[in-house]
Amino acid sequence: MLQSIDYHAILPELILAGAAIVVLVVDLFVAPRRKWIAMPLSVAGVVGAFAALISLVDGETRETFCLDTVRLGGGNLTGCSYVVDDFAIILKLIFLGSALVVLLLSLNHFNDERFYQGEYYFLLLCAFFGMLTMASSRDLIMLFISLEVVSVPGFIIAGMRKADTRSTESAIKFFLIGVLSTAVMLFGMSIVYGMTGSVQLETIARQLDAPGFAQTPAMAAAVALVIVGFAFKVSAAPFHFWAPDTYQGAPVPVAAFLSVASKAAGFTGLIVICSVGLRPYAFVWGPLLAVLATLTMTLGNLVAVQQRHMVRLLAYSSIGQAGYMLVPLSIAATVTPSAEVINQAVAATVAYIAIYAVLNLGVFGCVVAVARRTPRNLVADYRGLVRTSPVLAVAFAFFMLGLAGVPPALAGLFAKIYVFRSAIDNEMTWLAAVMAVNTVVAAWYYLRLAFTVFAGAGEPAGEARLERSRVPVAVMTAITISIVAAVAISVYPDLVFRYGPEFAQR
């Protein structure tokens, strides 16, 4: 069957895919000392995709790759596999912004270490290509393929330090757990398809909500398997155990990618499949997400307090933050969500993802800069950082205050308040209380880190303060982008809070 394709709708993806191919081909013909050229070519591709995405911001919902599908009880229903709406555009902006920052953080790190730069940037662009397609995916096949296009490059780039046994171990662990989560999720999706006869998410929702469709334990088990599969992807407890070792063993820019962009992609898939396809089974995934949110934020924050390695600490911090992101999505634990309730929950989660991405990428930018002279990357290495890098110390403290939700970085505070409100407004008071306790625990180690860079400023001891070192321009640019974005959201929070998707109204 011939399909009409809206090439404007998929233009950002086409540009990013073209850039990835150009990077890989150009890398074959340049001299080893010029391998760094892959990075500016990648940035050009990201900027081009961003420009194409801006051209889609016109308030119009675009659909492509559409087919007629059969619904329960007979009759045809048009279903589209690819949709570009407000939700997709917002997430794609987050992904492309994250891509730009990760590329900037990677330039000096990979150039200095003599990594395989062409392959790395190619794989990174492929992963972000998968993220862009995931935000617009509206069928199980498209969603699954997009998620794997994100995951597989991640397995490879996590082990880019081939001579480091710890890096190899972390990559293998990431790969094995990733394959397991994929198998679990695919098994659940196959049952959903078998029970409904469709892969189109909107059609699945209508099938599950049809009067003639009986709610069965098999379907409830399938929904649970899908949620568990995504729980691995977003490192939700108790499926988080791969994340700390992988983050610590991977190059720091790759850890930033996994902590922010890859996690945001997992949440994107979770939002789409729950809010669109599995909405009638909210009584199953709602309570499950509530339990996962409680375990994730509690375990992540409690273990983070005890960490002495900076990247490992940020890994557990990322796990705790994932718990906060799960809170709005778990509102179905006590209520049957209406279209308005689902839209508000999705909007709260997306806003939190955006603010978390800005702040966490900024923190990793500071970590990349410090790691250039203190490869051990211990928390103790940051003590008195203000003596050698005053600007870097202030930026690091600013991002930590933002993650703690403390002024002057008001963006983090706004994000937490929005999530709190979504839980309380929907009678999830107990979950809001759990989040409040965890916020206090997290504030303890975030504030401790913020003060560490100013502690002992008059003392000459400490490896991180032996000599002044210049922060590379690319890294400083990445940090500056994160600071500007964080300040902009702090001053004008409507940048991320005013736009809410309208899934259930479609």
What is the per-residue pLDDT for 335? 59
Does the pLDDT value for residue 419 go beyond 50? yes
pLDDT tens readout for residues 68-115: 554 444 444 457 889 998 889 999 999 999 999 999 999 888 776 666
* Dist. CA 47–CA 16, nearest whole Å: 9
Write the CB contacts of 260 (distance below 8 Å, at least 6 apart in sequence). 98, 102, 356, 357, 360, 361, 364
What is the per-residue pLDDT for 68? 58
Where along the chain do its domains lie?
11-505
Contact 15, 49 (CB under 8 A): yes
What is the per-residue pLDDT for 91? 93
Q: Check residues 217 and 504 and name the one with the higher pLDDT.
A: 217
Count of residues in the chain: 506
Looking at every residue in the chain, the average pLDDT score rounds to 86
| Alpha helices, H only, 55-116 | 86-112
Q: Decide: residue 381, CB within 10 A, 0-12 exposed, 13-18 middle, 19+ buried.
A: buried
* Dist. CA 231–CA 281, nearest whole Å: 17
Write the CB contacts of 419 (distance below 8 Å, at least 6 apart in sequence). 324, 325, 327, 328, 348, 352, 435
When mean pLDDT is compared across 103-107, 272-276, 372-376, the lowest value belongs to 372-376
- What distances in angstroms separate CA 467 from CA 52, 108, 155, 310, 377, one per listed residue? 45, 20, 36, 20, 16
Q: What percent of the chain has pLDDT over 70?
A: 90
pLDDT tens readout for residues 18-53: 999 999 999 888 887 888 899 999 999 999 999 999
pLDDT tens readout for residues 125-184: 999 999 999 999 999 999 999 999 999 999 999 888 777 778 888 889 899 988 999 999
pLDDT tens readout for residues 215-271: 788 999 999 999 999 999 899 988 888 899 999 988 899 999 999 988 999 999 999
- 417-425: long-range contacts, CB 8 A cutoff, minimum separation 24: 418/348, 418/351, 418/352, 418/497, 419/324, 419/325, 419/327, 419/328, 419/348, 419/352, 421/348, 422/327, 422/328, 422/331, 422/344, 422/345, 422/348, 423/327, 423/328, 423/331, 425/344
- What distances in angstroms separate CA 63 from CA 4, 83, 334, one per listed residue? 10, 5, 34
Residue 496: pLDDT band with limits 50, 70, 90: confident
| Alpha helices, H only, 277-409 | 282-304, 310-329, 339-371, 390-404
Q: Check residues 444 and 458 and name the one with the higher pLDDT.
A: 444
Residue 448: pLDDT band with limits 50, 70, 90: very high
Among 366, 416, 370, 413, CA closest to 394: 366
- What distances in angstroms separate CA 159 from CA 153, 249, 257, one per listed residue? 10, 8, 13
Contact 23, 128 (CB under 8 A): no
Structure tokens given for 358:
């800005």
* Dist. CA 49–CA 67, nearest whole Å: 27
Phi, psi (deg, nearest 5) at residue 469? -135, 145
Contact 370, 384 (CB under 8 A): no
What is the per-residue pLDDT for 297? 94
3-state secondary structure of 81: strand
Q: Running DSSP on this structure, what letter comes out for residue 298?
A: H
pLDDT tens readout for residues 199-225: 889 889 888 888 777 778 899 999 999
User: DSSP states of 135-151 as a string?
Assistant: HHB-BHHHHHHHHHHHH
Structure tokens given for 160:
């880019």
Q: Decide: residue 172, CB within 10 A, 0-12 exposed, 13-18 middle, 19+ buried.
A: middle
pLDDT tens readout for residues 123-138: 999 999 999 999 999 9
What is the per-residue pLDDT for 457? 53
Is the bond into 12 cis (omega within 30 degrees of 0)?
no
